[in-house]
């Protein structure tokens, strides 16, 4: 008996269905489709009911659709991934007794208010930053400092240490700090927590909180893509293992030494 048949009675929440399909894509080797799932701004399962009529009887048929929302600049050239994504969702659906009929990719609708004309004027003049913290800018309580945005307070604390280190260096031999800058690699757009430039080298620091548990495989794939794109070094700071400022300072010093070593 196949695994799919044996698992028909498993009940999964919508989020678990989305997660299982995403992991299945990676396990099947469809890395670009799996990475696209990391880029979605939102993912949800919508339920529909349609009235159908045949020659002999009529009935209400219920079905489900997966809706993935992406920023407009990420929509381009995603259509060829849809078949792989749809197949993964339908495989998971069979295992948990669902009827997922289709997968749709939609653009995120911009959030505007009464002053939308002023916002549009800024966008047209180039005053709207579309490549820095595109997701966290939509959240009302994200940390911000020096005109930069951060996902959480852990990243902001690391920024403080990086900025202090920057201030100690000579102006003609300092570091550049870019938090959450959108970086395009083949097939994906990522936002590294920190892109660091130093002495002609480029490195990435990722700040891993408790939510990164169970994501080791996806993180390794992402790090490998960074290195293939010319990032010299990628290092990860686990916030649970670096609870003091001194530990973060040592991490930053070691990272910069290795970056130019």
DSSP symbols for 92-105: HHHHTT--EEEEEE
Q: What is the mean pLDDT of residues 149-159?
A: 89
Is 103 in the same domain as 8? yes
User: Does the pLDDT of residue 6 top 50, yes or no?
Assistant: no
End-to-end C-alpha distance for the chain, whole angstroms: 55
Q: Count structural domains, the chain.
A: 2
Residue range of the domain that includes 79: 3-107
DSSP track, 162-178:
HHHHHHHS-GGG-EEEE
Q: Give the per-residue pLDDT at 35.
A: 85
7-34: pLDDT as tens digits: 445 789 999 999 999 999 999 999 888 8
Is 13 in the same domain as 73? yes
Is 253 in the same domain as 138? yes
Q: Using alpha carbons only, give the angle 61, 63, 66 rounded to the nearest 5 degrees.
A: 165
Q: Is residue 118 part of a domain?
A: no
User: Does the pLDDT of residue 4 top 50, yes or no?
Assistant: no
From 107, 141, 175, the end of a domain falls on: 107
Lowest-confidence pick of 10-24, 42-56, 79-93, 238-252? 42-56
User: Does the pLDDT of residue 136 top 70, yes or no?
Assistant: no
Is 149 in the same domain as 241? yes
Per-residue pLDDT band at 120 (split at 50, 70, 90): confident
Is 12 in the same domain as 90? yes
CA-to-CA distance for 30 and 25, rounded, in angstroms? Answer: 5
Q: Give the per-residue pLDDT at 117.
A: 85
From 72, 107, 142, the end of a domain falls on: 107
Is 64 in the same domain as 178? no
Q: What's this model's pTM, rounded to 2 decimal places?
A: 0.53
Give Cα separations from 110 to 87, 120, 125, 249 (angstroms): 30, 11, 17, 39
Q: Is residue 114 part of a domain?
A: no
The domain that holds 96 is classified in CATH as: 3.30.300
Q: Is residue 126 part of a domain?
A: no
The domain that holds 195 is classified in CATH as: 3.40.1350
Greatest C-alpha distance within the chain: 84
Which residue blocks in the chain are alpha helix, DSSP H?
A: 3-6, 14-27, 31-39, 72-75, 82-95, 116-124, 153-168, 216-228, 245-260
Is 171 in the same domain as 238? yes
CA-to-CA distance for 191 and 89, rounded, in angstroms? Answer: 26
Is 65 in the same domain as 140? no
Q: Is residue 120 part of a domain?
A: no
Provide the 3-class DSSP secondary structure of residue 147: coil
Q: Give the per-residue pLDDT at 162.
A: 97
């Amino acid at each position: 008996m196949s695994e799919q048949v044996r698992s028909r009675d498993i009940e999964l929440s919508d989020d678990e269905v989305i997660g299982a399909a995403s992991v299945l894509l990676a396990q099947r080797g469809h890395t670009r489709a799996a990475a696209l799932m990391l880029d979605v701004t939102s993912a949800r399962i919508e339920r529909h009911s349609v009235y159908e009529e045949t020659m002999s009887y009529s009935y209400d048929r219920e079905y489900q659709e997966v809706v993935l929302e992406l920023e407009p600049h990420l929509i381009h050239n995603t259509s060829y991934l849809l078949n792989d994504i749809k197949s993964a969702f339908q495989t998971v659906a069979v295992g948990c007794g669902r009827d997922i009929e289709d997968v749709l990719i939609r653009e995120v609708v911009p959030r505007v208010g009464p002053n939308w004309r002023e916002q549009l004027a800024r966008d047209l003049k180039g005053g709207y930053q579309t490549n820095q913290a595109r997701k966290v800018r939509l959240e009302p309580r994200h940390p911000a400092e020096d005109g930069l945005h951060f996902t959480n307070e852990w990243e902001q604390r690391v920024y403080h240490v990086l900025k202090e280190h920057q201030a100690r260096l000579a102006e003609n031999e300092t570091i550049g700090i870019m938090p959450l800058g959108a970086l395009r690699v083949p097939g994906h757009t990522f936002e590294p927590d920190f892109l660091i430039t130093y002495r002609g080298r480029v490195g990435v620091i990722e700040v891993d909180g408790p939510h990164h548990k169970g994501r080791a495989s996806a993180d390794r794939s992402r790090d490998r893509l960074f290195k293939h794109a010319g990032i010299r070094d990628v290092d990860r700071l686990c916030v649970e293992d670096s609870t003091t400022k001194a530990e973060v300072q040592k991490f930053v010093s070691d990272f910069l030494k290795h970056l130019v070593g």
